[in-house]
Every structure is written in structure tokens, then in C-alpha cells.
Structure 1
Amino acid sequence: MFLNEIGQPLILDSKKTYSPYERHNGPMLLTSAAFQEHKVPTSFCDRIIGCAEDVARFQRVPGESKQDYVYRIIRPNEPTEIGNDGNTMLVTLIPAGENDVGESCHLYYLKTDYVRALIVDNLTGYLDFIPKAGALFHRALSNGIDVMYIDDIYFESSDDESLEQREHIYAFAQLIRPRFLFGLRKNNLPQNLLDLCVQKYRGHNQQQTQVSLTL
């Protein structure tokens, strides 16, 4: 998953053609998509960001270990400033437990001067990671998440993993109530999922989020 100059993420699809205005040549954030077949931007900046475990795992992928990448390891729940094309943003890696095969799941929280965004990778269905996620993320939940990005590939299939992830995504979106929901691959999302978004943050939404921090 690659970022553009203002921190918007995208998983490129080899079957799609992207215009110059859709270039995402910034850093790659290591999510589960990085360990699957993926397309790399033509002008990729060769910077890769992730936790120590994911960086080590990515370096073992055949072919990737020979690339001249610059790696940036970020620590869980610690906001890290990264620059991209003259812009800066804060990136926080939020551990979210382990999946059924023992692989770590996590979210990325991105904060710029204008947007609070949450990038959701795999979810486990458990929310006990939220109280441990750090003060910056807790404040973001209290103030409201502007945009939540999810991997829309789970809505393109009906296998067991996809169905399970859909259930987790619906539950998490209902809790977070972002203003907007977008797919990381720019596919259309179901309307009943989009209906979980709120266009204005009201006091009761903030109170519900604050209560969730005590779960």
C-alpha cells in the first residue's frame, strides 16, 4: 500500500490504469497486501515503513531482498513523523492482536494538518487493543475520525476469510463512525456499510467513543 504526497493510501491493481493525478509514489506502508502479488508505482520513492516484524518478513520475500530499499522501522503506539514530497504527517502503528495463523494484525493512524485517517488491515474481532493504543489515537477517537480506509478486496469474494473480515469491518465501522469510508483499491463499497458513516460529529457519538476506550 502506497501513500501519495498528502498521505492518501492506495493498493494498486495490475488490471487498472492510473492517471498522473492518481500517482502514489510515496512510501509503502507494510500491510498484508505487501506480502501478496502487488503492483509498484513506476516512480516509487523506494522507502518502506513498518514494524520490525513486518520489515524482517518483507526482506525475506524472494526478489524483494535484492531491491535497494530504504527501510524505516516504527515502534507500536509511538507517533512517527515522515516526510513526503515536501509534506509531513504523523504515522502511528497500532497493534490489533493476531490472526488465526499467528500473524500480527495492526492499523495505521495518519494525522496531517487537515485530516485524521485510519487505515484498517486485517481485524481479529477483538477490540481490547483500543485502550492500549496511546493518547494521540484516543484523542482522535474522541474528536472523530475523518476517513477510514479498508481493504475492499474482502467485498469481492465470498470465501470464509472474506466473510469473517466483512463482519469485523462492519462492527469496527459501527464503533468508530468515521465521516467517510473508502476502499484501498478504489472499488465501490456496499451502501449499508457507507451508511455507518456520520457527516457531523455530535456529542453522543463522542461520548460513545470515549466509553469504548474503557472496554
Structure 2
Amino acid sequence: MARAKKEDAKKINKTEDKVKNNPEKKDTKVVETEVKSVEKRKNKRELKLELRNIEDKILVEISNISSMHQSYFSKDGDPYFDFDPDEYEEITLSELREVIKKAPGYFREFDIIITKVLNEEYTVEDIMEYVSISRFYKGIDDPTDDFIRELLELDEEELRDALQSRKDNRKLIKNLACKAVYLTNSEDEEFELSMRKDKIICEFLGDRKTLFSLKYEK
């Protein structure tokens, strides 16, 4: 959603001041109309047309929230991103759109998320709508944070409740299991998966084994 421009904000302030300083000519409808015209959201078609014209000029920050190295190269061999878990990269909106068109699994499988738009006129939600990935994050409170790690850091009962509400999202639960093993094995992390959480995750995976059977595999 494009934000209100400074000129529009000044226009509103001047209109409000005019009303306040002229009580005999007060017309609240004028102020309300000005505010509504500025705050009105662009519809999907308007947003898509606007972004399509400037997508090479907009930078988007992405993060690797998976447990593996992730990379994508153009047909000419140029890297769009090439990073380890918990690292960030910046790519253009046009590059992002190409990645999602040709390899949507990076985002559908929750390996990579969009964390920031380096342009004050647009939000992450605008970009997700533009590249048609909003549907991937249904039921996720904040898709710009490492929501997989946040789930792992819940206490045991909260984790069970969270997975129960997302039990149909098999991709998320599998990624959660992989992330748990990765963090436990990582020498740079203080994370340690409890046996109880291990069993809860495996319960939703439909596996009687525990993740600890994979714990020391590199």
C-alpha cells in the first residue's frame, strides 16, 4: 500500500487549521473527505500496475530461515541469493518475482521469507500480494519473522496448541523438525530440544521415532 505523501499530509493539516480558525464556516465533511482520499488503499490491480513499472528499482530483504544453505542463480549464472541459515540478502523486486515464478518452493516450503522492503512507500504485505505468495502464510501471525524458531521456543503446551492449530500444514511441521535438529546440532546455538518437545513434533509428523535419532547426524 503506497503511503500518503508529505504534500497530502500538509494539505490535510492546512484544511484542519482553516476549519479550526473559522468556526462559523466549519465543515467537517471537507476534512473527512480529504483524509479518506489520502488513506484510501490502492486495489490489487492498481498496486500491481504501479509496482510492475518500478520493480527493478525496489530492493527487498529476504532471510534464510531453513536449516540448509539456499541459493538461486539466473540463467546467466548470476547469483540472486546464496546464503546460509539465519543470513539475509537483498534482491530487487523483479528478481524476487522471477524466483517465485520459477521456484516457488523456496517460499511455499518456508525456506525463505521476505523480512523488509527498502522503500517507505510499500509494505511487505504489498510485495507478498504482488508476487502472489500471501496464501502461503495463512494462519501465521507475522510472516516477516522467523516464525519457525519462534514456535520452537514456545513452552511444551504452547507448542502442542500451536501445532494442533496448524496440523494440516505439513510443510511447516516438517520444516520445524529440520530446524530443531539443525539448531540442536549447531555449535553456534544454545538451543536444546527437550525430549517432550521432540515427542510432540514427532506426534504431528505421524512418526513414532524421535528427532533425537537424527540429532548427531551431520
Common fold: TM-score over 0.5? no
Query: Where on the TM-score scale, by shorter chain, does this alignment land: which range?
Result: 0.3 to 0.5
Which one has a larger percent strand, Structure 1 or Structure 2? 1
Tell me the TM-score normalised to structure 1 length: 0.33
Q: Which has the higher contact order (CA 8 A, sep 6+)?
A: 2
Which one has a larger percent helix, Structure 1 or Structure 2? 2
User: Which protein has the larger Cα radius of gyration, Structure 1 or Structure 2?
Assistant: 2
Tell me the TM-score normalised to structure 2 length: 0.32
